[in-house]
Structure 1
């Protein structure tokens, strides 16, 4: 009960600060309180960026009262241009020579503040939070563990050691490369010139080498699902190539009998808003998706409030359900099969990539094998046609 009251008081204080135009906020981190918001940069005091000040105060009512007073003091110092980092921190926010766990944690927290924009909408905050938890946090944690075990500072050698701790040609390695590259840019650490090549694993994605299900096999797997609600989830993913979580974050009113069948994925998803066409369109009837246009409540009842859950948790729920039904394919098999289908049908790569919600570069790397074969086949057909003519 005391913790609940503390949380309510903290929310109320921050709401009052926002109403008064104050940009700093009090936040609770474990058993301690800190301040967060735009603060002067040490190198350029006239410039501001989102940073954190650890107050060292306990997370209780007394600590909260003290934190509020300190916040007011810092606000006054900033207004009168008297704020000095030496008073609030013994180390410069940009002097990164960590030798222990606390120092590294502070660096990553500073980087996290840069990652999140305090002026975002609730929707984009939820999307960024999901992206941080899945694509950044695990790899930064491993970097931190290696720095502590080696008792060394953050440098390009440590970054490289962390990257190569993941299997070559794996998606984890590619994501690790992206996360560490972003942190290196923030810390002004120069990585090896071939960094991108070393973390290029996604270009040799398993999708290129595994046998993806045929359309007939997908239709057979659909029949293995006993629950009609999860059948609709399967049908949507197969027909539109959706990511796991996107099924629950899209406008399905287009599936009404008089709708255009062009699905709009909402902005609060992993890669933002995009539109998708059905491939093949006849699956809309085969998987009985028209009923979704009339009643979206026919989808499974799972938590989709992004203030209570994350996109990863929603996606994980879908994957768990596929395993529960012992389906002979994964959710991403459906997505990859959709992509290959569009390649065989001759849809331009730029259009297909846009529908899938990723860049053309990612699309080309991931589906290079099939795209190359399609283009080669076109060249062969053209050559044969010229001979016959």
Structure 2
């Protein structure tokens, strides 16, 4: 059986193989990055050098070193490497922090909160597009977002979210939320015939034994919440005002939803606080980002597919169809679901179209 030191050595080697220009190596009791780097001030040729990470030789230190290696590789590939961002001796003591300084701090912090794939996609990728040597300003971020992303695109949502966090970490005022896709990004159309019916949903809810997941399930079923929103909401216990307020730090920001059907609100009691019956305690998951929270539920649905033969998002889609079937105005339904009316109409076009035809038929029948 391999020793702990041997396993760590293999992990370091495996991590290095992910990169083309950067290697992670152990030097004493710390991890370093090795790469061919541009010449330092006063030099004329690139050299292969070591950059100390300051991270210890253990699993936690390796994770942080990997995030630094990702950033170094991106800077080398895009010819954005600057010594002042990596060598404290070269950086002037009184020089204001640059974009690169703030980016490095944010990535370091996020590397301990999200997995490697999320870190690269949601933070390193958009943050590395900023000019690393310039002072950080809201205008710099805003101009880049508008230049390289399209409205209502997933990339627009990703860039705005990352840049808001960057500006907040620097203590700078920002109004980038105005650039967020109104109501979210455009998704594919939903076929109502492929969704579970209400009887199936209620039967599945009845069979769920885990109290924590049962409450999360009820919130998605009753209010049409996105999976991560079921963690981040406040639900009124007042039956005369049974609204659900979704928190601001969710995919499309704060919005109000109402239960449909109302009897599910009374039976399922989605307002209940969850007791810690999830495998991850509240003190831990409350620090997770929206994607990771959504993945907790998606994974649970997948692992319990014999009991729950549909996905988490199908509860949201069925809620939308239920609103259409009960003639809730499209604009109101879109508002309850936290997205733009144009997106609502496009995604649920088939359900809305069928309802429109039924209403026309009923109207004609009433006149005959």
Q: Are the aligned partners of 1:240 and 1:277 in contact in 2 as well (CA < 8 Å)?
A: yes
> CA shift at 1:343, angstroms?
0.6
**Match of residue 322 from structure 1:** 301
Q: Which has the higher helix share?
A: 1
Measured in 2, the distance between the counterparts of 1:223 and 1:106 equals 43
Q: After superposition, where does 1:17-96 map in structure 2 within 5 Å?
A: 29-30=68-69, 54-56=81-83, 63=87, 65-66=88-89, 69-70=91-92, 72-73=94-95
- Name the CA distance, whole Å, in 2 between partners of 1:261 and 1:328: 29
Query: What residue number does 1:370 align with?
Result: 351
1:157-306 equivalences under 5 Å are 204-205=188-189, 207-208=190-191, 210-252=193-235, 254-255=236-237, 260-290=241-271, 292=272, 295-297=273-275, 300=278, 301-302=280-281
Q: How many residues align?
A: 241
- Residues 344/298 of structure 1: CA separation in 2 closer, same or farther (3 Å cut): farther
Specify which of 339, 346, 349 is matched with residue 358 of structure 1.
339
Is 1:303–1:309's contact at 8 Å kept on the other side of the alignment?
no
CA distance in 2, matches of 1:213, 1:238: 11
Aligned-residue CA RMSD (Å): 4.4
> Are 1:303 and 1:314, in contact at CA under 8 Å, matched by a contact in 2?
no
- Structure 1: how far apart are the matches of 2:347 and 2:89? 54
> Within 2, Cα distance between the matches of 1:180 and 1:235?
29
Deviation of 1:29 after TM superposition, in Å, equals 3.9
Residues 323 and 380 of structure 1: CA distance in aligned 2, closer, same or farther (over 3 Å): same
Per-residue deviation, 1:289: 3.0
Per-residue deviation at 1:226?
1.9
Q: Note closer, same or farther for the CA distance 1:227–1:176 as it changes in structure 2 (3 Å cut).
A: closer
What is the CA-CA distance between 1:32 and the residue it aligns to?
A: 7.2
Q: Per-residue deviation at 1:310?
A: 1.8
Post-superposition offset of 1:215: 0.7
Checking the alignment, whether the CA contact within 8 Å between 2:211 and 2:275 is kept in structure 1 is no
TM-score, normalised relative to structure 1: 0.51
Aligned-pair CA distance for 1:373? 1.4
SS at match of 1:251: strand
| Matching of residue 338 in structure 1 with residue 319 in structure 2 | yes
Q: 1:285 deviation in Å?
A: 2.5
The alpha-carbon deviation at position 284 of structure 1 amounts to 1.8
Deviating 4+ runs (over 6 angstroms): 31-34, 105-108, 176-182, 304-307
Conserved 8 A contact 2:345-2:352: yes
- The 1:118–1:341 alpha-carbon spacing in structure 2 relative to 1, beyond 3 Å, is farther
Q: 1:276 to 1:298 in 2, by over 3 A?
A: farther
2:362 aligned with 1:384: no
TM superposition score normalised by structure 2: 0.54
How far apart are residue 383 of structure 1 and its match?
2.0
Q: Which of 264, 267, 292 is the aligned partner of 1:313?
A: 292
Name structure 1 gaps, 5 residues minimum: 8-27, 35-51, 76-104, 120-135, 137-154, 160-173, 183-200
The residue number in structure 2 matching 1:194 is none
Q: Which runs of 5+ in 2 are unaligned?
A: 1-28, 32-51, 56-66, 74-78, 98-123, 139-144, 161-184
Give deviations 1:75-129, integer Å, cap 9, x for gaps: 8xxxxxxxxxxxxxxxxxxxxxxxxxxxxx999722598xxx977xxxxxxxxxx
